Amino acid sequence: MKKIIVYLSICLSFLISSKSVYAKNENPYWQIQSIDTMKLSRDLAREKIDDSEFEKTIAREVENISDIGATHVAIGTPYDDEFVPFMKKWVGEARKNGLKIWFRGNFSGWEGWFGYSPISPEDHTIKIENFILSNQDLFEDGDIFTPCTECENGGPGDPRDTKEVSKYRQFLIKEYEISKSAFEKVDKEVTSGYFSMNADVARLVMDKDTTKSLGGVVVVDHYVKDPERLSMDVVEIAEKSDGKVILGEIGVPIPDIHGYMTASQQAEWIKKALSLLSNEPALLGINYWVASGGTTSLWYDDSSEKPSVEIIRNYFIPKVLSGKVVDELDKSIKEAEIIASAKIVSTNSEGEFSIDVVPSIEKLVIKKDGFEEGTVWLNNRSPEIIILKRSKGNIFFKIKLSIYQAINIIKELLQ
């Protein structure tokens, strides 16, 4: 077997799935990989509730989302009783396609959707508990339930304007605790909370104590002009809140922010954004807004893919790089750290590991006490063996190494 001796040793092989349908992605890069359906699941909820033909549109939309490698489909259907039958159509298609659901709706009265009368924060909390207890068949372990999506857009108002920040925090915490308790009562492991909010609201509201009280996660719906700004804001919010960050909404183009974009320009923006975001350990997940029906859509009206779909798919479904770390005597090295940007794994007792890599990752860094740090560049070439060199070796090790190398030279000469 050919051996390449450098400062690092690792046996590498790309294990790439050949399947063309990515339903039920069991190896996502981010914990939450979601595509939003609000333009269809919320905006058309009343208009299409009794339209049996629209069920084909729902099926096609959810299947497309599954094929991109999503873990979740975000459904914006209101929580009012009127819309539960429509919501069930989306839920049914999600389950068929192996998807978990991120419920990102609200009661219509909070913002005045569909002509509903306003409701108070107290009524909202009561209604949230009743909704969960009365509709437990909608939920499945692994789902996410947001009681009040972009709360600042309704109810008593935006805390940036009302200045009642403490009261707003208390409301979110109460809704989180009530919904969490309700799911425990129905024996469903559903993550509650994940209150999507504008980034400026998050900066104001989500201090460390509040973030901790809401499960340690900050969700921001964030549209900015540049991918670099998006990545920097994730880092800033994570540091300020001491929590993990989920991008509850990102998407391009928003005309007022990005102007006009061709499909190719959209793909390039998304490619740059995902490349930067894949380097951020604080980022727990992404919900792309929106699948179809808006300027940021990923699919054309005829359901054909825009170029951005393949870009997202390559990040949502990472390649798995497997290998083995050994020393200069070909002995396995356990508990070596394998670092691929934001991903870190350790070798097992046999020196073996598997790690996810996405298109933006160019190299692996390997660290182990007592050994020199090494780097493997991830080009198309995959060496069979590369050896991690000891940073210090006693006289006995050096003698053993000399003998080992001499034996290998003799073997090569005899071949």
Write the pLDDT tens digit of every residue in 220-235. 999 999 999 999 999 9
| pLDDT at residue 328 in the model | 84
pLDDT at 9 over 80: no
The answer on 222 and 275 residing in a single domain is yes
Answer whether 193's CB lies under 8 Å from 176's CB: yes
pLDDT higher than 50, residue 331:
yes
Return d(Cα 118, Cα 133) in angstroms, integer: 23
Do 290 and 352 lie in a common domain? no
Q: Is 65 left (phi over 0), alpha (psi -120 to 50) or beta?
A: alpha
Ramachandran region, residue 34 (left: φ > 0; alpha: ψ -120 to 50; beta: rest) = beta
1 is a domain residue:
no
Q: What is the pLDDT of residues 72-90, one digit of tens each?
A: 999 999 999 999 999 999 9
Q: What does the pLDDT read at residue 391?
A: 81
% the chain with pLDDT above 90: 81
What per-residue confidence (pLDDT) applies to 330? Answer: 86
Neighbour-count burial of 142, counting CB atoms closer than 10 A to its CB (0-12 exposed, 13-18 middle, 19+ buried): middle
Is residue 400 very low, low, confident or very high in pLDDT (cuts 50, 70, 90)? low
Distance between CA 68 and CA 269 in Å, rounded? Answer: 18
Element housing 61 (H / E): helix 54-67
152 within a domain of the structure (yes/no): yes
Query: Which of 140, 355, 342, 175 shows the shortest CA–CA distance to 245?
Result: 342
> Is residue 224 located within the same domain as residue 201?
yes
**Secondary structure E strands in 274-342:** 283-288, 319-324, 337-340
Is position 7 within any domain?
no
Average pLDDT, the chain: 92
Based on the fold, state whether residues 240 and 254 are members of the same structural domain: yes
Per residue in 294-303, pLDDT tens? 999 999 999 9
Residues 80 and 183 in one domain: yes
Q: Enter the tokens of residue 84.
A: 């539960």
Calpha distance 182→199 (Å, rounded): 28
In a domain, 16, yes or no: no
Predicted pLDDT of residue 382: 55
Last residue of a domain, one of 253, 285, 316: 316
Do both 152 and 209 map to the same domain?
A: yes
Per-residue pLDDT at 18 exceeds 60:
no
In a domain, 9, yes or no: no
Last residue of a domain, one of 259, 290, 316: 316
Confidence tier at 22 by pLDDT (50, 70, 90): very low
Question: What's residue 223's pLDDT?
Answer: 98
Query: 157 and 273: one domain?
Result: yes
Give the model's pLDDT for residue 179: 99
Indicate if 400 and 371 belong to the same structural domain: yes
pLDDT at 121: 98
Residue 300 lies inside a defined structural domain of this protein: yes
Which of 268, 293, 316 is a domain's end point? 316
Domain co-membership, 178 together with 270? yes
Q: How far apart, in whole angstroms, are the C-alpha atoms of residue 79 and residue 320? A: 39
Selection from 380, 336, 347 nearest residue 7 by Cα: 336
- The whole-number average pLDDT for the span 260-272 is 99
pTM, two decimals, is 0.91
Residue 411 in this model has a pLDDT that exceeds 80? no
Nearest C-alpha neighbor of 135 from the set 60, 78, 94: 78
Cα–Cα dist 252/245, whole Å: 20
Is it the case that residue 246 has pLDDT exceeding 60?
yes
Q: How many domains does the chain have?
A: 2
Boundaries of domain holding 376? 319-414
Do 80 and 203 lie in a common domain?
yes
Rounded to whole angstroms, what are the CA distances from 381 to 4, 12, 328, 353, 376?
A: 12, 10, 21, 19, 10
pLDDT band at 387; cut points 50, 70, 90: confident
Give per-residue burial for 341-364: e unless 16+ CB within 10 Å, then b: bbbeeebeeebebebbbbebbeeb
Whether 216 and 255 map to the same domain: the answer is: yes
The one-letter amino acid at 272? K
Asked if residue 228 belongs to a domain, the reply is: yes
pLDDT at 200: 98
pLDDT at 26 over 90: no
CATH number of the domain at 151, please. 3.20.20.80
Q: What is the CATH number of the domain that holds 363?
A: 2.60.40.1120
Q: Is residue 122 part of a domain?
A: yes
374 plus 229 within the same structural domain: no
